[in-house]
């Protein structure tokens, strides 16, 4: 009993720290989760963690949350053999990884609400908005191309998980046209993408 409680506390502390120290979204988070969960605590094996990441990428929902939920379940149910404690473990990990966001974002959004009409703040945001355009473009590019550097020379390769062949480009183009020009709802387009995937491959 005390062992289970200690494990839960340790899980909560670990995921709180992960939530506090990762900037830049889910993918940046994965390596920290791996270091903590596999290397530092030895809660999961390397291959179990790799499977969890693969499933987290394949299921709806933010990847950081998916991974936390899955790891929390596996760690607790693995240690105790109980589904119920597994569920408690996943809730603990998920809430713990989100808690630092609350502390920081509430400060930020209060500041935003108060100063959004301030000239100085507006000046800062005028610089930030075009930067965000570039960041979003980069997020999309990174899903298509990966860059690796050897001796200062870049080499580019297509990200195989996302772009398998010409059919992927066809879906990409069609989805862009559908969203941009026909203004089709993005949720509908994701469902159509799934159907196209089943039909085309």
Partner 1 sequence: MEQEKISLWQIFAVFAKIGAFTIGGGYAMIPIIQSELSRRGWISEEELPDIVALSQSAPGVMAVNISIFAGYRLRGLKGSIAATLGSITPSFLIILAIAMFFSAFKDNPWVERAFKGIRPAVIALILVPMVNMARKNNHTWWSWVLSGAALILVAFLGVSPIWILLVVMAAAFSITYIKEQKP
Residues in 127-166 at the binding interface with partner 1, rule: CB under 8 A: 127-145, 147, 149, 154, 161-164
Residue 74 contacts partner 1 per CB under 8 A? yes
Interface of this chain with partner 1, residues 93 to 112, rule: CB under 8 A: 94, 97-98, 100-102, 104-106, 108-110, 112
Going by the DSSP 8-state scheme, the letter that residue 153 receives in this structure is: E
Residue 107 near residue 27, CB atoms below 8 Å: no
Which residue in 77, 96, 80 sits closest to 11, CA to CA?
A: 96
The answer to whether residue 49 forms part of the interface with partner 1 (CB under 8 A) is: no
Non-local (6+) Cβ contacts of 201 within 8 A are 164, 167
Asked if residue 44 lies in contact with residue 37, where contact means CB atoms within 8 angstroms, the answer is: yes
In the complex, minimum distance from the CB of residue 168 to partner 1, in angstroms, rounded to a whole number? 4
Interface of this chain with partner 1, residues 19 to 48, rule: CB under 8 A: 19-29
Question: Candidates 4-12, 33-41, 179-187 — which segment interacts with partner 1 by CB under 8 A?
Answer: 179-187
Does position 90 interact with partner 1 (CB under 8 A)? The reply is: yes
Under DSSP, the state recorded for 150 is: E
Closest C-alpha among 125, 126, 97, 93 to residue 111:
125
Nearest to partner 1 of 2, 113 (CB atom): 113
CB of 158 to partner 1, least distance (A): 11
DSSP state of 148: E
Closest distance to partner 1 from the beta carbon of 2 (Å): 25
């Amino acid at each position: 009993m005390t062992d289970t409680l200690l494990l839960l506390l340790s899980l909560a502390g670990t995921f709180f720290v992960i939530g506090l120290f990762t900037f830049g979204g889910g993918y940046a988070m994965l390596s920290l989760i791996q270091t903590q969960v596999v290397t530092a605590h030895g809660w999961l094996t390397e291959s179990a963690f790799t499977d969890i990441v693969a499933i987290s990428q394949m299921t709806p929902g933010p990847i950081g949350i998916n991974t936390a939920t899955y790891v929390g379940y596996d760690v607790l149910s693995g240690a105790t053999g109980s589904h119920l404690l597994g569920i408690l473990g996943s809730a603990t990990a998920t809430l713990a990884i989100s808690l630092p966001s609350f502390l920081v974002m509430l400060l930020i959004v209060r500041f935003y609400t108060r100063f959004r009409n301030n000239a100085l703040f507006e000046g800062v945001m005028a610089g930030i908005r075009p930067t965000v355009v570039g960041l979003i473009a980069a997020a999309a590019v990174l899903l298509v191309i990966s860059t690796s550097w050897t001796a200062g020379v870049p080499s580019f390769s297509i990200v195989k998980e996302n772009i398998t062949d010409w059919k992927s480009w066809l879906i990409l183009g069609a989805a862009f046209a559908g969203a941009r020009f026909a203004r089709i709802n993005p949720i509908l387009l994701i469902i159509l993408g799934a159907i196209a995937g089943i039909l085309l491959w």
